[in-house]
A = this chain, B = another copy of it.
Amino acid sequence: MPSHADGGALYIVGTGPGSPGQMTHDAVQAIESAEYVIGNSSYLTALASFLVGKEVIRSSMGKEVERAQQAVDLARDHVVAMVSGGDPGVYGMASIVLEVLERSGSDIDVRIIPGVTAANAAASRVGSPLSGDFCVISLSDLLTPLPVIEQRLRAAFSMGIPVVLYNPKSRGRPHNLSLALGIAREHHASSTPVAIIKNAYREGEEVILTTLGEAPGKEDLVDMHTTVIIGGSESRLWRMGDHVKGIITPRGYHRKYVY
Which residues does A use to contact B, with CB under 8 Å? 14, 16-17, 19-26, 28-29, 64-65, 69, 87-91, 94-96, 98-103, 105, 107, 112-117, 120-121, 123-125, 127-138, 142-144, 148, 151-152, 155-156, 158-161, 238-241, 246, 248-253, 255-257, 259
Contact = CB atoms under 8 A, between A and B. Distances in A.
A128 B89 contact: yes
A137 B161 CA distance: 10
A127 B144 contact: no
Contacts of A65: 253, 257, 259
A120 B117 contact: yes
A133 B248 CA distance: 23
Contact of A259 (B100, B127, B129, B131): B100
B124 A89 contact: yes
B29 A25 contact: no
A132 B253 contact: no
Contacts of A101: 240
Contact of A90 (B105, B134, B259): B134
B143 A95 contact: no
A241 B156 contact: no
A104 to B, nearest CB: 10
A88 to B, nearest CB: 8
A238 B100 CA distance: 11
A90 to B, nearest CB: 6
27 contacts: A14-B120, A21-B24, A25-B25, A64-B253, A65-B253, A88-B124, A89-B120, A89-B129, A89-B131, A90-B134, A94-B128, A99-B250, A100-B259, A102-B239, A102-B240, A112-B124, A113-B124, A114-B116, A132-B138, A133-B138, A133-B144, A135-B159, A143-B251, A152-B160, A155-B156, A155-B159, A156-B159
A141 to B, nearest CB: 10
A103 B258 CA distance: 12
User: Which are the 5 A-B pairs with shortest beta-carbon distances?
Assistant: A143-B252, A94-B128, A95-B128, A95-B131, A21-B26
A99 B248 contact: yes
Contacts of A113: 124
A88 B251 CA distance: 12
Contacts of A112: 123-125, 127-128
A144 B132 contact: yes
A255 B143 contact: yes
